[in-house]
């Protein structure tokens, strides 16, 4: 990573895609903040992961298969977010991150390739993009983690594995998408 400034990992929940104006508002806020801060966006799964859940309920996939197909759903949402955040760069592995975020910019992670190679998380529906974001923040030595959710809340809105994946001492918060204006404050 470039020593130009601390990296913040921001997970953008897939549920925002169902809320009118949410992606536009959050995308605009992240594009603005990316001019002054180094940001890595980790996507949720949104409607793509919902489709995997529905298919899994019908087809009863093995847990490992359902896990990897759900991670691929995050890649799909990453492409949507990279389009919605002006100037954002799509990256697939940590090696591409340094060039994408330089001293200040926004990168959007399509996590499948990296997670498939590292395989750091349990293969269960108890792992969501919240835990993926916590893993990414720890692996990259991020200075903080921010979860942007469809609704306000804190730890009660995270997945069951989040607490065990979150690096000890890593500052984090959860914001509802309507609180996008508080991102600057959360970034310090």
Answer whether residue 1 is part of any domain: no
Which of these, 16, 8, 96, lies nearest to 49 by C-alpha position? 16
Average pLDDT, the chain: 90
**DSSP letter, residue 21:** T
Answer whether residue 51 is part of any domain: yes
Which of these, 144, 42, 168, 135, lies nearest to 97 by C-alpha position? 42
Per-residue pLDDT for 41 more than 90? Answer: yes
User: Residue 93: its pLDDT value, please?
Assistant: 83
Answer whether residue 170 is part of any domain: yes
Answer whether residue 2 is part of any domain: no
108 against 183, higher pLDDT: 108
Which 3-state string (H, E, C) describes 33-89? HCCCCEEEEEECCHHHHHHHHHHHHHHCCCHHHHHHHHHHHHHHHHHHHHHHCCCCE
Residue 117 burial (10 A CB sphere; 0-12, 13-18, 19+): exposed
Answer whether residue 172 is part of any domain: yes
* pTM higher than 0.85: yes
pLDDT, tens only, 63-121 = 999 999 999 999 999 999 999 999 999 999 887 777 777 666 899 999 999 999 999 99
Answer whether residue 143 is part of any domain: yes
Q: What is the CATH number of the domain that holds 61?
A: 3.40.1160.10
Domain count, the chain: 1
Domain boundaries, position 143: 7-186
Estimate the crossing angle of helix 129-139 against helix 63-84, to 10 degrees.
Answer: 70
């Amino acid at each position: 990573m470039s020593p130009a400034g601390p990296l913040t990992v921001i997970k953008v929940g897939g549920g925002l895609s169902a809320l009118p104006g949410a992606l536009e508002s959050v995308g605009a806020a992240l594009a603005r903040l990316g001019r002054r801060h180094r940001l890595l966006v980790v996507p949720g799964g949104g409607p793509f992961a919902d489709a995997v859940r529905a298919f899994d309920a019908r087809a009863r996939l093995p847990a490992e298969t359902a896990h990897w197909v759900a991670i691929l759903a995050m890649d799909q949402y990453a492409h949507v977010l990279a389009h919605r955040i002006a100037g954002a760069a799509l990256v697939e592995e940590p090696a591409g991150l340094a060039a994408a975020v330089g001293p200040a910019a926004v990168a959007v992670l399509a996590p499948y390739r990296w997670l498939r190679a590292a395989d750091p998380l349990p293969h269960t529906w108890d792992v969501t993009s919240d835990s993926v974001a916590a893993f990414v923040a720890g692996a990259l030595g991020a200075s903080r983690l921010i979860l942007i959710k469809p609704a306000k809340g804190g730890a009660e809105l995270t997945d069951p594995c989040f607490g065990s994946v979150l690096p000890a001492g890593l500052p984090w918060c959860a914001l509802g998408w309507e609180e996008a204006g508080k991102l600057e404050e959360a970034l310090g």
